[in-house]
């Protein structure tokens, strides 16, 4: 029997729509709280879990700080159960945080939030070009769902632990790279390529920015080296054990799909130009290593509220630690993270 489930898409704004960036500092904390509250609805034991097949979220700063929520369910579940529960949850949230999110008065009904532009229901359009076709997109959606669940756990744990958010993110990023390949050269190549991509996107004076990253690394180096050393000696948060298992299996599925030519992307010829210079795991599966993994690195940090500048600081520190283990710098492969 054909699966009747459909993807649904809602945007939840935490400041008036089309507010220019940068984001107010307290909005990240407000967003954290909203997502922690969603544990009661979308979490592993949440009230909506029996009614949805899969869900994930992404944070966005452009056009007003907001969360993009996607969930998959049979259409009848949405009208009968999901929307009423989600609407009630969101109405309570906006009533509690009205002043912080820019509302003059607490809303009395969910329709007020739609009318003011704080909530929008849109059509979900899978990014087939970005994730190498239908099979790649389906596998990516599975990963997005798992990543979202893990990030909810991190938000809850970090709120209670006093451990810096960056340390939690560092472990998730370390696991992403480690489960693709334990080879520090492979990891450094991906991180360097990622850094070069984003620095070109967002930075005017590259040389000055790199000097700033290096100065930041020098200040944080002892703590970062200690944490990465602990991770490599398996002193890892047990909270993430199933995350590592998921990544191992997920990358195996992607690599098998790529080997069988079931992934289709316009960027494959671009990556093949560098094939002779790439380590085996990346040369054999360039879409997995140079398209999926870099996008996953960005999204896991995004879900936990890091700005792109914070991402670059964190990954530069990781890169510097990896570089110390290598005889020479890895090559940098020009990434195309938004294929058309």
One pLDDT digit (tens) per residue for the chain, 340 residues: 446 789 999 999 998 888 876 667 688 899 999 999 888 888 777 888 889 999 999 998 888 899 999 999 998 888 889 999 999 999 999 999 999 999 999 999 999 999 999 999 999 999 999 999 999 999 999 999 999 999 998 898 888 877 788 888 999 999 999 999 999 999 999 999 999 999 999 998 999 999 999 999 999 999 898 888 877 766 677 778 899 999 999 999 999 999 999 999 999 999 999 999 999 999 999 999 999 999 999 999 999 999 899 999 999 999 999 999 999 999 999 999 999 8
Q: Is residue 335 included in any domain, yes or no?
A: no
Look at residue 21 in the predicted model and tell me its pLDDT: 67
pTM as predicted: 0.93
Strands lying side by side in the sheet with 6-13:
54-60, 66-73, 6-13, 119-122
Rounded to an integer, what is the distance from CA 220 to the centroid of its chain? Answer: 24
Assess whether 110 and 146 both reside in one domain.
Answer: no
C-alpha to C-alpha distances, 56 to 101, 150, 292, nearest whole angstrom = 23, 11, 17
Claim to verify: residue 140 and residue 239 sit in the same structural domain: yes
- The answer to whether position 235 is within a domain reads yes
Q: Are residues 64 and 102 in the same domain?
A: yes
Please name which of 63, 64, 57 lies closest in space to residue 24, comparing C-alpha atoms: 64
* Co-location of 56 and 194 in the same domain: no
The rounded mean pLDDT for the chain is: 92
Looking at the fold, whether 192 and 97 belong to one and the same domain comes out as: no
Residue 245 shares a structural domain with residue 205 = yes
Domain count of the chain?
2
Q: Output the CA torsion 227→155→125→264 (10° steps).
A: 20
Distance CA 74, CA 45 (A): 19
Domain of residue 67, residue span: 6-123
């Amino acid at each position: 029997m054909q699966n009747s489930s459909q993807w649904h898409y809602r945007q939840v704004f935490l400041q008036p729509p089309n507010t220019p960036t940068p984001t107010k500092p307290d909005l990240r904390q407000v967003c954290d709280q909203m997502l922690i509250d969603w544990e009661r609805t979308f979490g592993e034991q949440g009230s909506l879990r029996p009614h949805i097949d899969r869900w994930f979220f992404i944070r966005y700063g452009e056009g007003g700080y907001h969360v993009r929520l996607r969930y998959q369910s049979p259409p009848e579940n949405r009208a009968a159960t999901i929307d009423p529960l989600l609407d009630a949850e969101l109405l309570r949230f906006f009533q509690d945080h009205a002043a912080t999110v820019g509302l003059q008065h607490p809303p009395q009904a969910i329709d007020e939030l739609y009318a003011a532009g704080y909530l929008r229901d849109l059509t979900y359009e899978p990014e087939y070009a970005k994730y190498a076709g239908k099979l790649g997109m389906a596998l990516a959606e599975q990963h997005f769902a798992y990543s979202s669940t893990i990030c909810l756990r991190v938000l809850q744990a970090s709120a209670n632990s006093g451990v810096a958010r960056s340390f939690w993110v560092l472990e998730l990023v370390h696991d992403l790279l480690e489960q693709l390949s334990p080879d520090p050269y492979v990891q450094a190549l991906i991180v360097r390529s990622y850094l070069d991509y984003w620095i070109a996107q967002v930075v005017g004076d590259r040389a000055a920015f790199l000097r700033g990253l290096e100065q930041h690394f020098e200040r944080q180096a002892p703590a970062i080296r200690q944490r990465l050393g602990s991770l490599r000696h398996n002193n890892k948060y047990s909270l993430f054990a199933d995350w590592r298992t998921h990544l191992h299996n997920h990358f195996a599925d992607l690599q098998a799909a790529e080997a069988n030519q079931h992934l289709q992307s316009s960027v494959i010829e671009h990556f093949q130009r560098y094939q002779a210079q790439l380590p085996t795991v990346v040369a054999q599966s360039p879409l997995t290593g140079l398209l999926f993994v870099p996008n996953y690195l960005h999204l896991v940090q995004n879900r936990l509220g890091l700005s792109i500048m914070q991402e670059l600081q964190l990954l530069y520190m990781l890169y510097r630690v990896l570089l110390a283990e290598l005889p020479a710098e890895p090559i940098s492969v020009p990434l195309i993270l938004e294929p058309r």
